[in-house]
Amino acid sequence: MATVDTAAPAPRMGESPASRVLRWVGKAPVHLILIFVGVLWLVPTLGLFLTSTLGAEDFQDEGWWQIFSEPSKLTFENYESVFDNEDITSALVTTVLISIGGTLLPIAVAAFAGYAFAWLDFPGRDWLFILVVALLVVPLQMALIPIFDLYNRVGLFDTVLGLVLFHTAFGLPFAIFLLRNFFIGIPKDLMEAARIDGASELRIFLRVVLPLGLPAIASLAIFQFLWTWNDLLVALTFGRDTQPITVAIFSQLRAFSTTIDLIAPATFVSLAIPLVVFFAFQRYFVQGLLAGSVK
Amino acid sequence: MGSGQSVVGEPPVQEAPPAAMPGAWRRHALAAGFLAPAAVFLGVWVIYPTLRTVIRSFFDADGDEFVGLDNYAELFTSDVLLTAIKNNAIWIAVVPALVTAIGLIFAVLTERVSWSVAFKTAVFMPMAVSAFAAGITWRIVYVKNPDQGAVNAGIKVVKDTFDPGGVLAAARPSTDDLRQAGGGIELERPVQPGDVVPLGLTAISTDDVPEGAEQAVRPEPLQGGITGVVWRDFKPGGGEPGRVETEELGLPRVKVELRDAGGDRVAQVESETDGTFAFEDVDPGDYRLAIGQETFARPFGGVSWLGPDLITPAVIIAYIWIWAGFAMVVIAAGLASISREVLEAARTDGGTEWQVFRRVTVPLLAPVLTVVFITMLINVLKVFDIVIAVAPGAVQDDANVLALAMWRTAFAGTSDFGVGSAIAVFIFLLVIPVLLLNIRRFRREI
């Protein structure tokens, strides 16, 4: 066994400072590459932010990096005019409404369905669940035209409710999939114990499964929130005056370079909320991603 | 989960044949109640429209007349739609593989540094942002003018370092004995040692006069050498072409070439701040004088990223910027679950880092890499927001992809629901293999 020991990599504990330095130097290319790439990845967002603080004329002169030589050009006047712009503020309110509705409703619906798929017994359960898995990848393009017709007939066109219902439906397959897979991991003994105590299924669902399922529900809530907040296609198709922030910005794109002092700050506002959510709940976001990366 | 190969997993509560018991009906009713809301949503908003779209794709724009496969024929004959198909094929060929590879590289590299969380956060951040906002972010990055767009500004810095642009982009000769040739300017008559040659240029705006220019001077003849002056042969209020006059500026840093009778360059000098230049120790004989083309090279005006030729690569780069973080995080999680012992054992057996990576890490990661690849495949088939955000309206035909073509056909302008439905069905058909794969994978898991 002694020979194997010598062939094994040197134990890190007893490493001398010199070899530690050597090891670090040996890794220097990796550090440099990662620093370079990391900075590269941040530049576009930084550029958007700095551009959003420049006047439209300043942008015509030179790009956002002029702020490094003339920091006085950084002002928040554009943001003041963005928040004074009624189109933008009402679009933000619309976005918030769509996102809240489009997050809570699918979670509620999917929690019931996920529980049924995980813990209730009924004929065809597995086939129905496979149907849900199949629906995961149905492109929403398949629904745009018929739902457009339907909404026009029943008066849901150009309403927040219409958008929320659509987001709910297309969020459901993923939501059911995620919650069912999480619920099924809850120890059977807990459920049995509750049943023996005479608790109804509804009670078990509300008092046992939902509290235990909170981490999964949190992941799902973040996903669904980001998905609805960031949507452009659905709102563009089923709305005209009911504009979330993405659509409001989209309608300004035609005159890109002259309205850059509105587009850039409005875009940054629209992306600030998802970033805050992302940084606050990063853990749940990544967990949800890993649990459901089949979507 | 796990063990069973049949679709029918063991029910959590073991029971006798359900219908026989009165309680079974209550159970089923309960399950139906729990499932009903989801069934309504999926039925009305997903399943019904999917079937409806398939039927709709066989009818004309208004939906009145059955047209068979005409809408699908349109898909493969209309230029706009063919471009969309071609572009989407590029997306499919490039993006999933590239995103997976970049994710793998990042995941492996971040394992070796202690500050990997910072790096991962930076790369993963774009995932949280809407593809639309990311598209606008990149549209600012891609602005053509190198003074405004970051990518072109970067290219300009690199280019100017190795190959500075010409001093005089628009200049023309002021006298008849000079002619424009091969991008430069050449003196038509031959010159001999001892000559003094004026090379007058015009059409140079005040802004374009190189920095440090002084009053032009006609130099003295040089024994056994050729001298001359390059100057801005223009005097406000008039002047005589070909004569160096007061208020006329010399043009510094112009590269003047001396060529032999055959046209080959024998010497090159740069003009002084007063425009003078001198070739010393020239052998007797006939020579030609010329100003090389590099003097007249246009300064870098920026790559047209948002133009019709480069728009698809430009959008793809922006898209990779968004999704690389996703691939990295999923692959890093897979990497973390590989047992350290396996890797250590491979290293102990004398494998180099590359061999360990190639022969051990990648095969063990294969399932994760497949998931990332397939996820990206589906995403790429549905790509929409980022194209519409990055590509200006004028080049959207050139940047077109299926999902964008579907939306533009059905809802922007033409409102042809027949062809729009056909495009949607086409996207759906492309997704179906993935759908079947998912089902197969899942049936194994139940």
pLDDT digits (tens, 9 = 90+) for B275-292: 899 988 888 888 888 887
**Long-range contacts of residues B403-409, Cβ cutoff 8 Å, at least 24 apart:** B403/A139, B403/A141, B403/A233, B403/B427, B404/B84, B405/B80, B405/B81, B405/B84, B406/A141, B406/A144, B407/A141, B407/A144, B407/A233, B407/A236, B407/A237, B409/B81
- The CA distance from B234 to the nearest CA of chain A, in Å, is 30
CB contact under 8 A, A168 and B41: yes
Residues of chain A with pLDDT under 70: 1-15, 292-295
Return the pLDDT at B17: 46
Task: Among A172, A201, A277, select the one facing B41 at the smallest CB separation.
Answer: A172
CA–CA gap between residue A197 and residue A202 (Å, rounded): 14
For residue A227, list chain B residues with Cβ-Cβ distance below 8 A: none
For residue B371, list chain A residues with Cβ-Cβ distance below 8 A: 293-294
CA–CA gap between residue A250 and residue A236 (Å, rounded): 9
CB contact under 8 A, B9 and A126: yes
Task: Among B49, B140, B347, select the one facing A143 at the smallest CB separation.
Answer: B49
CB contact under 8 A, A134 and B439: yes
For chain B, positions 362-381, list CB contacts with chain A under 8 A. 371-372, 374-375, 378, 381
Beta strands in A17-144 (DSSP E): none
Considering only A190-194, B18-22, B24-28, which range has the smallest mean pLDDT? B18-22
**Which is more confidently placed, A123 or B167?**
A123
For residue A135, list chain B residues with Cβ-Cβ distance below 8 A: 42, 46-47
pLDDT band at B95 (very low <50, low <70, confident <90, very high): very high
Mean pLDDT of B422-436: 93
CB contact under 8 A, B31 and A191: no
Return the pLDDT at B11: 42
- The CA distance from A116 to the nearest CA of chain B, in Å, is 6
CB contact under 8 A, A60 and B148: yes
pLDDT band at B317 (very low <50, low <70, confident <90, very high): very high
On the question of pLDDT at B5 being above 70, the answer is no
On the question of pLDDT at B181 being above 70, the answer is yes
pLDDT band at B446 (very low <50, low <70, confident <90, very high): low
- Give the count of alpha carbons within 13 A of B286, CB side only: 7
CB contact under 8 A, A246 and B130: yes
On the question of pLDDT at B2 being above 80, the answer is no
Task: Among B37, B42, B403, select the one facing A141 at the smallest CB separation.
Answer: B403
DSSP 3-state of A230: coil
Mean pLDDT of B282-306: 81
On the question of pLDDT at B59 being above 70, the answer is yes
CB contact under 8 A, A139 and B382: yes
CB contact under 8 A, B407 and A237: yes
On the question of pLDDT at B164 being above 80, the answer is no
Task: Among B28, B330, B427, select the one facing A139 at the smallest CB separation.
Answer: B427
Query: CB of B85 within 8 Å of any CB in chain A?
Result: no
**Which is more confidently placed, A134 or B438?**
A134
Query: CB of B150 within 8 Å of any CB in chain A?
Result: yes
pLDDT band at B90 (very low <50, low <70, confident <90, very high): very high
For residue B30, list chain A residues with Cβ-Cβ distance below 8 A: 120, 201
ipTM of the modeled complex: 0.87
Return the pLDDT at A189: 87
CB contact under 8 A, B133 and A270: yes
- The CA distance from A79 to the nearest CA of chain B, in Å, is 17
- The CA distance from B239 to the nearest CA of chain A, in Å, is 36
**Which is more confidently placed, B35 or B356?**
B35
Return the pLDDT at B350: 81
Range B133-167 burial, b when 16+ CB lie within 10 A, else e: bbbbbbbbbbbeebbbbbbbbeebeeeeeeeebbb
On the question of pLDDT at B273 being above 90, the answer is no
Classify the phi-psi angles of A155: left when phi > 0, otherwise alpha if psi is within -120 to 50, otherwise beta. Answer: left
On the question of pLDDT at B6 being above 60, the answer is no
pLDDT band at B166 (very low <50, low <70, confident <90, very high): low
CA–CA gap between residue B202 and residue B172 (Å, rounded): 5
CB contact under 8 A, A285 and B421: no
For chain B, positions 251-290, list CB contacts with chain A under 8 A. none
- Name, of A149-158, B227-236, B303-312, the range with top average pLDDT: A149-158
- The CA distance from A111 to the nearest CA of chain B, in Å, is 9
On the question of pLDDT at B3 being above 70, the answer is no
For residue B441, list chain A residues with Cβ-Cβ distance below 8 A: 294
For residue B392, list chain A residues with Cβ-Cβ distance below 8 A: 256
Q: Give chain B's domains with CATH numbers.
A: 59-153+305-445 (1.10.3720.10), 172-296 (2.60.40)
Task: Among A130, A146, A236, select the one facing B48 at the smallest CB separation.
Answer: A146
CB contact under 8 A, B321 and A173: no
pLDDT band at B7 (very low <50, low <70, confident <90, very high): very low
For residue B140, list chain A residues with Cβ-Cβ distance below 8 A: 44, 47-48, 51, 64, 260, 264
Numbered ranges of CATH 1.10.3720.10 in chain A: 81-291
For residue B41, list chain A residues with Cβ-Cβ distance below 8 A: 109, 165, 168-169, 172
pLDDT band at B213 (very low <50, low <70, confident <90, very high): confident
CB contact under 8 A, B7 and A146: no
Nearest chain A residue to B324, by CA: A41
Considering only A92-101, B49-58, B351-360, which range has the smallest mean pLDDT? B351-360
Question: For testing the chain A interface, which of B46, B156, B323 should be mutated: the one with the most A CBs within 10 Å?
Answer: B46
pLDDT band at B8 (very low <50, low <70, confident <90, very high): very low
CB contact under 8 A, B329 and A286: yes
Nearest chain A residue to B444, by CA: A130
Average per-residue pLDDT for chain B: 85
Q: Can you tell me which residue has the tokens 């790509």?
A: B383
Return the pLDDT at B401: 96
- Chains A & B: contacts with CB separation below 8 Å: 301
Angle between helices A214-229 and A160-183 in degrees, nearest 10: 150
Q: Are B170 and A78 in contact (CB under 8 A)?
A: no
Return the pLDDT at B167: 61
Return the pLDDT at B13: 46
Contacts of B67 (CB under 8 A, 6+ apart): B58, B59, B60, B418
Question: Looking at the domain covering A81-291, what would its CATH class be?
Answer: mainly alpha
